[in-house]
Amino acid sequence: MSSEQIEKYTEIIIKTIVEYSPKVVTAIIILFLGLWLTSIITKTIKKILLRREVDITLSNFIGNFIFWTLRVLVFITVVSNLGVPTSSFVAILGAAGLAVGLALQGSLSNFAGGILIILFKPFKLEDVIEAQGEIGTVKEIQIFNTRLLTANNQTVYIPNGALSNGVIKNYTQEGIRRIDLTIGVDYNSDLKQVKEVILDVLSKNELVLKEPAPAVVVMALADSSINLAVRPWAKAENFLTVHSQTLEQCKVAFDKAGIEIPYPHQVEIQKK
């Protein structure tokens, strides 16, 4: 390569650097300033929503949506400042978005499901729900999934698409729950006494609600026992405690009152 060619290429490089340096520097400044402003704006909006007592799930969703929307706008501004035609870039971005959308139809369904859950609120954080064959406490409602924590401390992620289109049983939304128990007594038992003993047990339990009042009724005449339906009410957070206490305390009270709880017997017949 001759000295003239080297000099020519050097001039071209210097000219290019001089021409594009201001654009590159400006683009870098816009990028860092835009990212910083994006974070500030998002945090400010979240604080405003929380001050106005907007549901935390909705405020987080809106904050994340604004955060990523602003970042996309910053990116487009930076690319445009470097000299790339915005119209061409938007067309390419739209085509890429369409391709990604077709490839991620399931994810878009989950995204739409997340929006429906946030808008219609079939459950909120810390609610105990049953859905898609799983029971757990709602710990996080994400854009694509909802995270549950089961009673045995397992984390379950349920896609929002399936969750929003399926049956959801919310155990804690009403604040109180009825405990449905079945207790069998011997056919020789005095039913009036049995009911009085059970109701006395329930009345002494401070976790059992007075209103709605607990109920004790005969449910079935079974093969070896008279089955009674025991229906106390409790706050949702005390459900398991009242369930366990009622069974234990009824057994102790039956023993004191001489009331027998029958159980299956096997009779062995020996042929001589």
- Which residues, in sequence order, are CB contacts of 100 under 8 Å at separation 6+? none
* Alpha-carbon gap, residue 237 to 255, rounded angstroms: 29
* Alpha-carbon gap, residue 154 to 161, rounded angstroms: 21
Between CA 252 and CA 177, with CA 218 as vertex, the angle to 5 degrees is: 70
Q: Which amino acid does the sequence have at 194?
A: V
* Alpha-carbon gap, residue 88 to 69, rounded angstroms: 19
Among residues 172, 177, 175, 179, the alpha carbon closest in space to that of 246 is found at 179
What is the phi/psi pair of residue 87, to 5°?
-60, -40
Q: What is the pLDDT of residue 77?
A: 79
What is the phi/psi pair of residue 139, to 5°?
-105, -25
Q: What is the pLDDT of residue 248?
A: 95
CATH T-level assignment (fold) for domain 176-257: Alpha-Beta Plaits (3.30.70)
Query: Domain 3-103's class?
Result: mainly alpha
* Alpha-carbon gap, residue 231 to 182, rounded angstroms: 9
DSSP state of 261: -
Among residues 261, 194, 183, the alpha carbon closest in space to that of 228 is found at 183
Between CA 192 and CA 197, with CA 193 as vertex, the angle to 5 degrees is: 120
- The domains of the chain are located at 3-103, 122-170, 176-257
Q: For each of the chain's 272 residues, which pLDDT tens digit applies?
A: 566 666 666 666 666 665 666 777 777 888 888 888 888 888 888 788 777 766 676 677 777 778 878 887 888 777 777 666 666 666 666 666 655 555 445 567 787 888 888 778 889 888 999 999 999 999 988 878 899 999 899 999 999 988 988 899 999 999 999 999 999 999 999 999 999 999 999 999 999 999 999 999 999 998 889 999 999 999 999 999 999 999 999 999 999 999 998 876 555 556 65
CATH T-level assignment (fold) for domain 122-170: SH3 type barrels. (2.30.30)
What is the phi/psi pair of residue 136, to 5°?
-175, 175
Among residues 50, 155, 161, the alpha carbon closest in space to that of 105 is found at 161
What is the phi/psi pair of residue 141, to 5°?
-110, 100
* Alpha-carbon gap, residue 162 to 138, rounded angstroms: 16
Q: Are strands 168-170 and 215-221 parallel, antiparallel or unpaired?
A: unpaired
Contact (Cβ atoms closer than 8 angstroms) between residue 246 and residue 260: no
Contact (Cβ atoms closer than 8 angstroms) between residue 120 and residue 132: no
Q: What is the pLDDT of residue 156?
A: 95
The β-bridge partners of 218 are 228
Tally: H helices and E strands in the chain:
7, 10
Half-sphere exposure of 78 (CA within 13 A, CB side): 17
DSSP reduced 3-state for 157: strand
